[in-house]
Amino acid sequence: MEYYIRPARPADLDAIMPIIESGRQYLKNQGLPQWQDGEGPDLALVTGDVEAGRGYVLLSEGLISGYLALIPGPDGTPPLSEGAWDERFEQYVAIHSVALGPNCRGRGLGNSFLRDAVTAARVLGYQDIRLDTHPGNLIMQKAVAKLGFNYAGLTYLPMQNGERLAYQLLLD
């Protein structure tokens, strides 16, 4: 199975947005409020991230099959209300808007995509990588644990059902 990641291009938006919508529906089918009710990534956010060089796509067998963004901090996530970030490095990058197309689910590509995003972040010079997810998103929690992320605490996004578990990975 051939797969790799690369920076997203504006021409990719027509392939990215259905993946985002598929991810939104997948979360809904799991009974999760994450990305529902007008929250989560939309065309304006994704376009801005892509144009700023922060968006990345997963290509699997030649097709765009996933999307995520690497957002340099501060990334707009509210401070932790419980727990604390390890602040040993001056700069961090946050992984946001992770979505896989339905053709990738259950094949281990989500873990590979996140691992490649960590590698891309390190190549960009970041040693502190952060992300957050809804407490009910057990799939994401399992994936970040496999990659060595440590639980840092709780944050609350300014929205209904905004509680998020925050994770951090420190690299040398």
Domain ranges of the chain: 3-170
pTM: 0.95
CA 111, 160, 41, 25: dihedral to nearest 10 degrees? 60
What is the chain's mean pLDDT, rounded?
95
pLDDT reported for residue 105? 76
CATH no. of 3-170: 3.40.630.30
Report how far residue 44's alpha carbon sits from residue 160's, in angstroms, rounded to the nearest whole number: 21
Question: Tens digits of per-residue pLDDT, 114-148?
Answer: 999 999 999 999 999 999 999 999 999 999 999 99
